[in-house]
């Protein structure tokens, strides 16, 4: 999913964040005895990562748009 936004400057940050969250959720899955709890936590973490990627992409687009509007005036 990170590769969708490879042209943005936020690729490295989102990649590091998603890797960290995936590693954390994997460690929780291995350490907890309840697989449903671990699966739910992993899904929640992935939703957070997806929201972060989408918001960073939209903020970057907004930044470019506001800069181009400012330059045209």
pLDDT in tens, 5-47: 444 444 445 566 666 666 666 665 555 556 777 777 878 888 8
Cα Rg for the chain, rounded, in angstroms?
A: 17
Domain count, the chain: 1
In a domain? residue 17:
no
Q: Does residue 9 form part of some domain?
A: no
Residue 6's contacts (CB-CB under 8 Å, 6 or more residues apart) are: none
Q: What is the DSSP letter of 33?
A: S
Range of the domain at 60: 42-66
In a domain, 60, yes or no: yes
Q: Residues 42-56: pLDDT tens digits?
A: 788 888 888 888 888
Please tell me the pTM assigned to this model: 0.44
């Amino acid at each position: 999913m990170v590769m969708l936004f490879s042209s943005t400057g936020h690729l490295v940050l989102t990649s590091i964040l998603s890797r960290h969250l995936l590693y954390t959720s994997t460690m929780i899955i291995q350490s907890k005895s309840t697989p449903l709890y671990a699966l739910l936590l992993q899904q929640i973490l992935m939703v957070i990562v997806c929201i972060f990627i989408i918001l960073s992409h939209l903020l970057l687009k907004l930044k470019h748009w506001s800069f181009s509007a400012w330059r045209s005036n």
